[in-house]
Amino acid sequence: MGKRGSTDVKLFGALILLALGIPLVAQQRYLPSDVENGSRLYRNNCFACHGPEGNSIPGVDFRRGQFKRASTDDDLLRVIASGVPGTAMPPAAINDSARLALVAYLRSMHEAATGPGDAAKGRTLFEAKGGCLACHRVNGKGSRLGPDLSEEGTIRTAEYLKRKILAPAESIMPEHRFVRVLTREGKVVTGLRLNEDTHTVQLIDQDERLRSFSKSDLREFTLLTTTTMPAYGDKLSPAELADLVSYLLTLKGLDSQ
């Protein structure tokens, strides 16, 4: 089985190995604790008018980074402190660190929606250097064995995507697990588990064929709990990671084609 295991690595992992040795230095403009505090302040002070998505005021959309009277962080700090005369926006009676936290949260709303990097560079990284299509599929291109990422931008946040790229083994959803079966005839088949019940298992194998097995016909049946996706923490620069996340956030299914 050891030999078989090394074959699996070749089949599923060899193409996606990246150049090594690029140190990952987390680049944080805002402290996570600021974002967390800002989130609480937003709920208590801003939510009622700006809404949960930050887009309830016409012309203002925090997730899109769209403001009427501000572009820099300093602008935002000033508007929060002074309010907007003649509108329903009052001055906020909060201290400087609270205002900073609010700005951190507003910026994080934008980053959560668009990512912090360059989506075009991220696409190149995804399709070329990253070799991501060796396992993943986007809009009809790439392997069917890993998760299809065509709609990733509609269902994931930047933070989630970043975690998955840096530490994919942290959690593997049931629908993304692989199985290895050894048939009565001695054939080993490994593939993505599509469905399973007490008596049968269905998978898509390495040649992307849909296969169904009766468990009573199998000598061995193993649910693989490890992921074939490497952790990219030491393979991507912070800028590359940001670019990749931004690209993934642009994937909105067929509408984004």
Beta strands in 77-235 (DSSP E): 137-138, 141-142, 178-183, 188-196, 200-205, 210-214, 218-224
Q: Least separation, in Å, of the C-beta of 132 and another protein?
A: 16
- Does 252 bind another protein (CB under 8 A)? Our answer is no
Nearer to another protein, 108 or 143 (CB): 143
Using rule CB under 8 A, residue 253 touches another protein: yes
Neighbour tally for 245: CB within 10 Å = 26
Q: Are 195 and 213 in contact (CB under 8 A)?
A: no
Q: Which of 44, 97, 212, 256 binds another protein (CB under 8 A)?
A: 212
Provide the 8-state DSSP code for 144.
Answer: S
- Which C-beta is closer to another protein: that of 68 or that of 209? 209
194 binds another protein (CB under 8 A): yes
d(C-alpha 206, C-alpha 7), whole Å? 11
The encoded tokens of residue 69 equal: 């009277």
- Cα 233 from Cα 167, distance rounded (Å): 7
Question: Among residues 208, 217, 220, 234, which is the contact residue for another protein, using CB under 8 A?
Answer: 208
Choose between 154 and 195: whose C-beta lies nearer to another protein: 195
Contact assessment for residue 8 and residue 228, using Cβ atoms and an 8 Å cutoff:
yes
Which of 180, 183, 29 shows the shortest CA–CA distance to 107? Answer: 29
Binding of another protein at residue 202 (CB under 8 A)?
A: yes
Does 66 contact another protein by CB under 8 A? no
Q: Taking the complex as a whole, how short is the minimal distance between the CB of residue 228 and another protein, in angstroms?
A: 16
Q: Among all chains, which residue has been given the structure tokens 């996706």? A: 229
Q: Does 207 bind another protein (CB under 8 A)?
A: yes
Closest Cα to residue 206, out of 15, 53, 34, 2? 15
Of 37-45, 125-133, 135-143, 225-233, which segment contacts another protein by CB under 8 A? 135-143
> What's the rounded Cα separation, in Å, for the pair 100 and 182?
59
Nearer to another protein, 124 or 206 (CB): 206
Residues at the interface with another protein (CB under 8 A): 3-4, 7, 11, 137, 139-140, 144, 148, 150, 187-188, 194-195, 197, 200, 202, 204, 206-212, 214, 253-254, 257
